Homo-oligomer: A and B are copies of this chain.
Amino acid sequence: MITSLAAEKLACVRGERRVFADLDFHVAAGQALVVEGANGVGKTSLLRLIAGFLPPASGRVTLNTDRGAISDGEERGRLVGWLGHQDGIKPQLSVGEQLEFFAQLYGARDVIGPLLERVGLSRQRDFPCRYLSAGQKKRLGLARLIVSGRGLWLLDEPLAALDTAGRALTAELMSAHCAAGGIVIAATHDALGLEARSLRLEAA
């Protein structure tokens, strides 16, 4: 169980370029944080940093759990549910195969059927992912996020490509996740339709 996430004096350098610096924030379990800011200001970078992909140039991210505080990036990653820009979908696999693989990879015991039902892809279960539309891919990503069963959700523009119903569904899923004691951190340019604190990044 995650109790909170804290960033202290976080700085991010990409290439030779300082993207942001001296970032402090704190998110408690059950809260959502929306990361906003102009294009290229470093939202995606921040999410990758929290997920442990990017090492911070300075400062640190601490994830407090009931088993102690985690500062190591890779260890933190084990608690992260990720919905990135890239869809992470293999065109050759069917929707069902794709989701089953991730369920097994993440050691999840979830049943695939109801989940696909929930994101509106049950008719596409045996459909090769190659033929999915942009929004359908995003919905598959949502299903994968749920199946991961992780406490800390990191979402990069979760609403892009989704239709109105899809956006409502996403908001609902995020609320439910928070209500269950999870944390949501989402980078977006849209209104999330969710009660959330906001973190506005400014160009360094």
Dominant SS among interface residues on chain A? loop
Q: So how many copies of this chain end up in the complex?
A: 2
B160 touches A39 (CB 8 A): no
Contact status of A160 and B161, CB under 8 A, knowing A14-B131, A39-B139, A40-B133: yes
Residues of B within 8 A of A37 (CB): 163
CB distance from A137 to the nearest CB of B (A): 9
Interface residues on A, range: 20 to 34
A166 on interface, CB distance cutoff 8 Å: yes
Contact status of A131 and B15, CB under 8 A, knowing A160-B157, A160-B161, A189-B162: yes
A165 on interface, CB distance cutoff 8 Å: yes
A136 on interface, CB distance cutoff 8 Å: yes
A33-55 CB mask vs B (1 if < 8 Å, else 0) is 00001111001100000000000
